[in-house]
Structure 1
Amino acid sequence: MSKIAFIFPGQGTQYIGMGKDFYEECKVSREMFELAGKAADLDVASLCFEKNEKINITEYTQIAMLATEVAILKAIEEKGYKPDVTAGLSLGEYGALAAAGVMSPEDIFKIVRKRGIYMQEAVPVGGAMTAVLGLPSDRIERICEETQGMVSIANYNCPGQIVVTGEAEAVGKASEAFIAEGAKRCIPLNVSGPFHSPLLKGAGERLEEALEEVMIREIAIPYLSNVTGNYVTEKEQVKQLLTAQVSSSVRWQQSVERMIADGVNTFVEIGPGKTLSGFIRKIEKEVKAEHKITAINIEKVEDMENLVTIQPTAS
């Protein structure tokens, strides 16, 4: 029997017009955009649909991405589809929380609006992120430890692709060492700060205070934490892990490997782009899964036709 995972991308895949067809054609999706706008005290629909520069600024990107993901999620759920497990990359973990029923959509929108602001305000001068291609993680970890200054792994995306983060000078020195060690390429990322770095610990502390006001529900559907790459089994763990996530490595590859090991063979990527689907194909080759892995992306209303390949799980 097929096991289904709903997965949600992080910021970086956003674009003007994302989710607009869901807003126009699905009442439940429109309600989610409106709820996000009310919770964030922003015109989120205009942010997503009308040409503007804010959509690529972290404090706005995060609420725009999440509103789009939850709007699409609710349209899929309305069709009778639910996952066996869920996960998301960085910001996408909040989409997973929505799918898992851990927080109400209103609370998730409020928290992510604050998260975006806190992360934007905490960005230090002179931070950087770089994607390292073609070098094993253990060698990247070693070089980070040996490099003077603050540099660490931000994302374990998939085999052959790891992102490092930290002080620009340290990231630059480490990048030279990665190439000398045999990395194929080191690609500086066009980001506004060194995300998932200890340099952003202050943003996590502010988020921790904001989370005190949020009610955490029982975990209805299993979901995986970026911090551990494993399932969150107790609702008491949720706030602590979300706090740590801001300044910790995102263990996406480990999360996908765990899901595949547990029998997940269908991944439904919900939101803009196909980044996670690409990562999954590379991870599948690495783990040599017993069963063929299918990755479906849902970012347009017409994409929901692809759901016919899996069986609805709700009446």
Structure 2
Amino acid sequence: MQRLYLLLTFICTVCVAAGLPVENVGEKIYPRFMEIPGDDGLMHKVDLEEEPDMELLNEIARNPANNQYLLYTRRNPRLSQTLRMNNAASITGSNFNARVPTVIVAHGWLGNGYNNLNPVVRAAYLDKSDVNVIIVDWSRLALSTYPTAVRGVPAVGRGVGEFLVFLNRVTGAPFNTMHLVGFSLGAHLVGNAGRAMSGRAARVTGLDPAGPLWNLNSDRIRPTDGVYVEAIHTDGGTGGLGIGSSVANADFFPNGGNSQPGCLTSLCNHNRAWELFASTVTRNHLVGNQCSSMSQVSWNTCRGSTLHMGNDILTKTGSGIYRVNTGRSYPY
């Protein structure tokens, strides 16, 4: 097995050095020690083999709903109202409107409910239409070490799914009007949330789903987590932080999915996923062409059918891998 890993690594290294596209000859191989970006906007050195905090994980497993749910609507676009699991009054006494769509947004590692991702995506939705935006603050787990956060994501995701089932029971808000959006580790989190809802959410969107410790992880986001599942991959290169492989019904690889125009760092490439998504919510202007292989993605030779990337359409459908080319600055 070690020889196979070394061979695959050698092949990828030669291809990258020669400027050749790399086919999916296997799952990406990550070094034990690597720099991983947090939602705090910094890079952090991580030991992927570090022992996780089992005390915290056991607590999370006992109470996976230990999150904050921050509601924003057009009646309160900037100051949130807190919704609480198993507290119907916190929901019925809020501005939550079961007659309009509900968007759930989950941040990534080292993030919280107030990181840049959340206000940008929230504003894109509320400026466009009357919706409920619920920001999931799962910072109690997200502020732990990366290996600990990875281990706890499935339990926290189940807690989010249980909360949305509770929300449905209290208000009658239909599952087919719910769109779950998550960034990096949050992408796998919302996948698990959708799974806890038996795949009934209208949409699940993973924004550059995290790669380290997820390649062979059965708890990662997958196509059955919602009625329609989409992933946007922006930092999937050999040393990138995104998973870089197909995980959804439709997988988009902007500009090839490895590096983004105007970006010089992996952190910039990684964050571009939620920046692109927010822009498509407003404009629905980025259109991908279906590809028959990852070589076509790399070489920009995709000529298949078209599908709009991102957007807020709840009845969206599609399947396959797509390349979309964008500009280097907002609105891309």
Identify, as 1 or 2, the structure richer in strand.
2
Identify, as 1 or 2, the structure richer in helix.
1
Of the two structures, which has the highest relative contact order with CA contacts closer than 8 Å and spacing of 6 or more?
A: 1
TM-score (norm 2): 0.26
TM-score (norm 1): 0.27
